[in-house]
């Protein structure tokens, strides 16, 4: 069935469910989107998977985060023991969780629950002075992301969520946002995990110097190489592969939204596969979502990362699929259609 014909039939099916037209709001939008992604009038959600990607950032050495870099490996260990927020939500909603070390500055080889796929042993380089990664490292990240998404699909997954753990990763996200959406850096830089006003001022100064070093560019390859985190570029690769293969993508907060923005500049049709699940409190996240022409499902004030906002939104997505498949229509229910 051609896409436009499918769209028309999905809308007819949704409008003929026994309810006032449009009365299920965002659920109707989600049902239409998921039906189009999967190319069917009867979408399903199977074997939901969550990828948690961990890596460290050289820019953290400049004091741009309230949290020290050792928190990255400490939290990865915590996740491997099931004690994190991401673990709790994955258990609650039945997600298959995969933990991946793509460049944590610590030896985690004694944690069998963590897949070791380090791009470099100590994380990215300090992009105040040099590119965060080489061209070959960026390509390895994209390739790893494709591999991880493919592995999920081979398990029967058709809905994928991606989270991150990497102290300092709001900094590259802010720079990606500023360059790709042509928004002044001051409107893109926020408190991250909890910087005070002086900390935000310092972060802004550092990132301004970084932007001056590189110069303005909207080239995705350059931006990924100059500023990206290993976990971020890997996420971009996973997102692109998943979208290409008809998987539904749940997009979390600020960092993963920046990755989705990058993916959309590499593949123009990418956003059709992405459901933006949470809008954080920082003005930068709202501006990024607006710049992409999308809306977050939830506004819970979360700033944990890990993919937790997307996981929290999963029941809403599930409700949309149940609505289109399980609600009766006017004819079968013998209810007068009044519009």
248 contact partners, CB below 8 Å, separation of at least 6: 34, 37, 38, 45, 158, 159, 160, 273, 275, 317
3-state secondary structure (DSSP) of residue 223: helix
CA pair distance 193, 190, nearest whole angstrom: 9
CA pair distance 18, 289, nearest whole angstrom: 33
CA pair distance 295, 308, nearest whole angstrom: 17
Task: Return contacts of 214-217, CB within 8 angstroms, 24+ apart.
Answer: 214/127, 216/179, 217/179
CA pair distance 263, 220, nearest whole angstrom: 9
Q: Which of 198, 205, 168 is nearest to 60 (CA)?
A: 168
Cβ atoms of 301 and 281 closer than 8 Å? yes
Catalytic residues: 306
In the chain, DSSP assigns E strands to 49-55, 96-103, 114-116, 159-165, 248-251, 274-276
Residue 104's CB is within 10 A of a number of other CB atoms, namely 28
Take residue 238 and report the two structure tokens written for it. Answer: 């996973």
Distances (CA, A) of 31 to 14, 36, 143, 274: 8, 9, 31, 13
């Amino acid at each position: 069935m051609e896409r436009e014909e499918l769209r028309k039939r999905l809308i007819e099916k949704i409008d003929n469910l026994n309810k006032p037209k449009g009365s299920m709001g965002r659920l109707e939008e989600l049902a239409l989107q998921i039906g189009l992604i999967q190319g069917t009038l009867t979408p399903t959600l199977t074997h939901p998977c969550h990828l948690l990607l961990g890596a460290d950032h050289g820019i953290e050495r400049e004091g741009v985060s309230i949290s020290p870099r050792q928190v990255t490996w400490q939290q990865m260990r915590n996740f491997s023991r099931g004690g994190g927020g991401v673990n709790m939500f994955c258990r609650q909603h039945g997600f298959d969780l995969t933990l991946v070390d793509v460049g944590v500055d610590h030896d985690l080889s004694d944690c069998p629950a963590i897949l070791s796929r380090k791009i470099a042993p100590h994380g990215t380089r300090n992009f105040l002075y040099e590119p965060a990664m080489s061209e070959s490292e960026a390509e390895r990240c994209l390739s790893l992301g494709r591999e991880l998404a493919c592995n999920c699909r081979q398990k029967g997954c058709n809905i994928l969520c991606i989270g991150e753990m990497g102290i300092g990763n709001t900094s590259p996200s802010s720079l990606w946002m500023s360059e790709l959406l042509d928004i002044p850096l001051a409107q893109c830089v926020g408190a991250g995990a909890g910087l005070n006003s002086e900390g935000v001022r310092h972060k802004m100064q550092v990132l301004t110097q970084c932007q001056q070093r590189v110069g303005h560019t909207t080239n995705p390859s350059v931006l990924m190489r100059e500023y990206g985190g290993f976990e971020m570029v890997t996420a971009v690769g996973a997102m692109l592969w998943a979208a290409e293969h008809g998987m539904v993508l749940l997009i979390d907060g600020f960092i993963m939204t920046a990755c989705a923005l990058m993916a959309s500049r590499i593949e123009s049709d990418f956003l059709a596969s992405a459901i933006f699940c949470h809008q954080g409190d920082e003005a930068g996240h709202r501006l990024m979502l607006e710049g992409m022409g999308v809306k977050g499902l939830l506004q819970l004030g979360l700033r944990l990362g890990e993919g937790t906002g997307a996981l929290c939104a999963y029941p809403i997505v599930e409700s949309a699929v149940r609505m289109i498949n399980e609600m009766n229509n006017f004819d079968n229910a013998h209810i007068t259609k009044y519009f």
